[in-house]
Amino acid sequence: MSGVQSVERAFTILQCLAGGPAGVSEVAERVELPKSTVSRLLSTLQELGAVEQSGSGTTYRIGDAMIDIAAGALPGRNIIHVARPHL
């Protein structure tokens, strides 16, 4: 990739969490980044509402801000086209 590294890494983490909740170590392993980097990025994403910590504080999941962004994009899209890859 030739973009901004921190943006690419944050997006990769969001894609990872789209598969379900995960802890820092699990995310770091999946995205092949140091735990310290993943922890910093998750903290920033949490401040922005893009991810949320579980009640126990051990895992992260996609946050309401990301759901709002996705929902805002749907009205202009054909729902069948959007859903087909997931069926």
Q: What is the 3-state secondary structure (H, E, C) of the chain?
A: CCCCHHHHHHHHHHHHHCCCCECHHHHHHHHCCCHHHHHHHHHHHHHCCCEEECCCCCCEEECHHHHHHHHHHHHHCCHHHHHHHHC
Q: What is the pLDDT of residue 1?
A: 55
What is the structure's pLDDT at 71? 78
Tell me how many domains the chain contains.
1
| pLDDT < 50 positions in the chain | none
Predicted local confidence at residue 50, as pLDDT: 96
> What pLDDT score was predicted for residue 55?
85
- pLDDT value at position 56? 86
pTM comes to 0.79
Query: What pLDDT does 5 receive?
Result: 94
Domain interval for residue 18: 5-86
Q: What is the pLDDT of residue 79?
A: 65
pLDDT tens-place string over residues 60-72: 999 999 888 887 7
The CATH number that applies at residue 74 is: 1.10.10.10
